[in-house]
Amino acid sequence: MNFTYPANVHFECNCCGLCCGNTNHKTRHILLLEKEAKEISAQTGLHIKDFTDTSKDTQPYIYEMKKVENHCFFLNTNKCDIYGIRPLICRFYPFELTFDADKNLHIFTCTPECPTLNTGKALSKKTFEELFELAKQRLL
């Protein structure tokens, strides 16, 4: 499988929590795969319905994370309570992966609202290869 990624991009998370909730300009949709929801449920002891809603037309994602005061259910003072088992969509941020069927190509793009995009360390092709491999593992 082929993919492209943004060249000369820098990123280092500052733990601001912006990616974990709605903003004035964007409603955040934190989507989960069924196996991610089950893993979170097993690790937290919560029922899936306690922290998710059913997602609409977002296959293969079948759940959407509930929000508390417009932020992810698991965001606690800008810290993720499930960081070690966070969903794929969270691991990718501030990047998104789409598929161009006409070109048979997966494309990484940047999410422009992230305040630390293009600050911090330069990301290499290896970073995107690792993200791409993670996507293949989780989505297959």
Paired strand residues for 36: none
Q: What is the pLDDT of residues 80-133, one digit of tens each?
A: 999 999 999 999 999 999 999 999 999 999 988 899 999 999 999 999 999 999
Q: What is the pTM of this model?
A: 0.89
Q: What is the pLDDT of residues 67-94, one digit of tens each?
A: 999 999 999 988 999 999 999 999 999 9
Q: What is the pLDDT of residues 10-33, one digit of tens each?
A: 999 998 999 999 988 889 999 999
**Bigger pLDDT: 41 vs 56:** 41
d(CA 77, CA 66): 17
Q: Which residues contact 41 (CB under 8 A, 6 or more apart)?
A: 47, 48, 51
Burial class (CB within 10 angstroms; exposed 0-12, middle 13-18, buried 19+) of 3: middle
